[in-house]
Amino acid sequence: MSNNNENSRANNTDSAVSALISSISNTVNNEKISAIINVTNVMADAIFIVNADGVFESVNPVAARFFNVTSDSLIGKKWQDCLQEQYRDDYKYMFESWKNNYQTPLNHGPKEVKIRKNNGNCLDVELSISCLPESVVASTPLFICIMHDISKHVKKYKVLENVARLDHLTGIANRCTLEKTIIKNWQECIVNKQPLSFILIDIDYFKLFNDNFGHVKGDKCLQKVARTIEECLPSKDSLVARYGGEEFAVVLPRSHISNAQMIAKRIQEKILNINFRDLGLPANVKISVSQGLACEYNNQYRTSEALICAADTALYRAKSEGRNKLCIR
């Protein structure tokens, strides 16, 4: 049975090669292109051949699996249509530009792109495109395209990126991400003459919480506070980060002091209402936070560091005045 299947596949491959040779017999050296296609059909890489108009002329079995279709169903179609939309125009432009300067061999990549599979899903691949030599083709050029599946590498990279970007305990941004974000937002607010508000938040008497209930529940408390603050953010480009220990920071682009004050008060109220019964603690266990708020507008501060220092000064005042309050610098 296995031999019959192998013979069937071999016959189908031979038929596909013959059909291709017949369809482009006027533009290629038959023996050489036949040899190339036969080699690509047994290679482990995903390989397809397109003409100068970007039309599929040959698709090996591995490439067909990448696209989740049969090889025959792609022949005669534009290969750029199999790219995710954001990449199509670049490759169409590349082929059109090459036509205006066809004496220069086209060699492009490897480049990371996403292709669209027939089931609607996308696949991350590394794509390289090269002209087939003139000794193989005649009057009309052909291009050999090679794809490597890099989806596993992309997933691993995203995991590592998150490790580098996020605080491992709370899952929100870490100190490094905060510093990069506030520098970027600072530059934008200066150029666009828009406000930038910054809040520093400290959990009151958190050491006492740890001493009374243990560090495991203390970690759970930090996670609850992080989620609560995150729920209060007004937009996607706002950021909450763990500043250190039991301290958190909030970056609010385009938020005037009055708007930032409302957000800070909302954070204050929601944290006061955090319930710890799911941790096995009594219903009367509550926590509060002290907050320091500063806002850059009209060059009030010379640097982003000065803005952070201003919020830190306001936080210190809130703690020294009895805690569980918001102070504005």
Task: Kindly report, residue by residue over 269-311, the tens digit of the pLDDT.
Answer: 999 999 999 999 999 999 999 999 999 998 889 899 999 999 9
Query: For 62-76, what is the mean pLDDT?
Result: 88
pLDDT tens-digit readout, 1-13: 444 444 444 444 4
Are the C-beta atoms of residues 193 and 252 closer than 8 Å to each other? no
- Per-residue pLDDT, 156: 86
Architecture of domain 2-154: 2-Layer Sandwich (3.30)
Q: Quick one: tokens of 324?
A: 């569980």
- Per-residue pLDDT, 137: 62
Would you give the distance in Å from CA 94 to the centre of its chain? 25
Peptide bond preceding 195 in cis form (omega within 30 of 0)? no
Q: Which residues, including other chains, have CB under 8 Å from residue 132's CB and lie 6 or more apart?
A: 33, 36, 49, 141, 142, 143, 144
Q: Quick one: tokens of 155?
A: 């997933």
- Per-residue pLDDT, 155: 87
Candidates 281, 283, 262; CA nearest to 273 is: 283
Specify whether 96 is catalytic.
no
Sheet containing 247-253: order of strands: 239-244, 247-253, 196-203, 289-296, 326-328
- Per-residue pLDDT, 6: 41
- Per-residue pLDDT, 7: 47
- Report the Cα–Cα distance between both ends of the chain, in Å, rounded: 82
- Per-residue pLDDT, 30: 61
pLDDT tens-digit readout, 215-225: 999 999 999 99
Q: Is 117 helix (H, G, I), strand (E, B) or coil?
A: coil
Are the C-beta atoms of residues 130 and 107 closer than 8 Å to each other? yes
* CA-to-CA dists, residue 199 to 100, 117, 150, 312, angstroms: 56, 45, 40, 8
Q: Quick one: tokens of 34?
A: 């036949």
pTM of the model as a whole: 0.61
**DSSP secondary structure code for residue 107 in this structure:** E
Are the C-beta atoms of residues 109 and 143 closer than 8 Å to each other? no
Interstrand relation of 289-296 and 326-328 (parallel, antiparallel or unpaired): parallel
Which amino acid is residue 95, in one-letter code? F
183/141: higher pLDDT: 183
Query: For 76-100, what is the mean pLDDT?
Result: 83
Residue 248: strand pairing partners: 201, 242
246 pLDDT band (50/70/90 cuts)?
A: very high
229 pLDDT exceeds 80? yes
Of the chain, the percentage scoring pLDDT greater than 90 comes to 52
pLDDT tens-digit readout, 179-205: 999 999 999 999 999 999 999 999 999
Q: Is 322 helix (H, G, I), strand (E, B) or coil?
A: coil
Mean pLDDT of the chain: 85
Q: Which residues, including other chains, have CB under 8 Å from residue 174's CB and lie 6 or more apart?
A: 165, 166, 167, 241, 242
136 pLDDT exceeds 90? no
Are the C-beta atoms of residues 167 and 82 closer than 8 Å to each other? no
9/171: higher pLDDT: 171
Residue 290: strand pairing partners: 202
Q: Is 277 helix (H, G, I), strand (E, B) or coil?
A: helix
Catalytic residue among 57, 246, 247, 296: 246
Query: For 216-242, what is the mean pLDDT?
Result: 96
When the candidates are 3.40.50.720, 3.20.20.220, 2.30.110.10, 3.30.70.270, the CATH number that belongs to 166-328 is: 3.30.70.270
Q: Quick one: tokens of 138?
A: 């005649």
Query: What does 212-270 look like in DSSP terms, one character per residue?
Result: HH-HHHHHHHHHHHHHHHHHT-SSTT-EEEEEETTEEEEEEET--HHHHHHHHHHHHHH
pLDDT tens-digit readout, 14-40: 444 444 444 443 444 566 677 777 777
- Per-residue pLDDT, 20: 44
- Per-residue pLDDT, 84: 86
Q: How far apart are CA 211 and CA 217, in angstroms?
A: 10
Are the C-beta atoms of residues 272 and 307 closer than 8 Å to each other? no
Residue boundaries of the structural domains of the chain: 2-154, 166-328
